Amino acid sequence: MESSNNIKTRCKRGHEFTEETTYIYIDVKGMEHRQCKVCKRNWAIENVYLKPGQEKDNKNHNTDKTHCHNGHEFTEENTYYYISGGRRKRSCRTCKGSPVVKRKSHLKLLGWTPELFDVVLKEQEQKCAICRVELTPTTGKRSGRTACADHEHTTPPKPRGVLCSHCNIGIGNLMDDPEIMRRAAEYIEKYNFESGGKPSGPQSLSS
DSSP 194-207: HHT----SSS-TT-
The verdict on pTM exceeding 0.95 is no
Query: How many domains is the chain built from?
Result: 3
173 lies in the same domain as 191: yes
Q: What is the spatial distance between Cα 39 and Cα 61, in angstroms, rounded to a whole number?
A: 15
Backbone torsions φ then ψ of 187, nearest 5 degrees: -60, -50
Nearest to 184 by CA among 167, 203, 196: 167
Task: Give start and end residues of each alpha helix (H) in 47-147.
Answer: 93-96, 99-109, 114-123
Same domain, 28 and 1: yes
What backbone torsions phi and psi does residue 57 show, to the nearest 5 degrees? Answer: -120, 10
In this structure, the answer to whether residues 108 and 135 fall within a common structural domain is yes
Tell me whether residue 204 is in a domain: no
In a domain, 174, yes or no: yes
Q: Give the Cα separation of 192 and 173 in Å (integer).
A: 22
Residue 15: other Cβ atoms inside 10 A? 15
User: Based on the domain organization, do 119 and 156 belong to the same domain?
Assistant: yes
pLDDT for 79 equals 87
Burial of residue 114 (CB within 10 Å: 0-12, 13-18, 19+) is middle
Query: Can you give the residue range of the structural domain that contains 91?
Result: 65-97
Q: What is the CATH number of the domain that holds 160?
A: 3.40.1800.10
State how far Cα 41 lies from the chain centre. Answer: 28
> In the predicted model, what is the mean pLDDT of the chain?
80
**Whether residue 76 sits in one domain with residue 28:** no
pLDDT digits (tens, 9 = 90+) for 5-55: 557 888 888 888 888 888 887 777 778 888 888 887 777 666 655 554 555
Residue 202, preceding peptide bond in cis (omega within 30° of 0): no
Please report, as a single letter, which amino acid is at residue 141.
K
pLDDT digits (tens, 9 = 90+) for 129-163: 999 999 987 655 567 789 999 999 888 999 999 99
Say yes or no: 103 and 190 in one domain: yes
Q: pLDDT grade, residue 112 (50/70/90)?
A: very high
CB atoms within 10 A of CB 142: 13
The answer to whether 41 and 59 are in contact (CB under 8 A) is yes
Q: What pLDDT digit, counting tens, does each position of 42-52 carry?
A: 776 666 555 54
**Predicted pLDDT at 10:** 85
- Output the pLDDT for position 206: 43
The three-state secondary structure class of 31 is coil
81 and 141 both lie in a single domain:
no
**End-to-end CA separation in angstroms for the chain:** 65
Tell the burial category of 42 from Cβ atoms under 10 Å away from its Cβ (0-12, 13-18, 19+).
Answer: middle
Same domain? 118 vs 166: yes
- Quick check: 200 pLDDT over 70? no
- Look at residue 188 and tell me if it is in a domain: yes
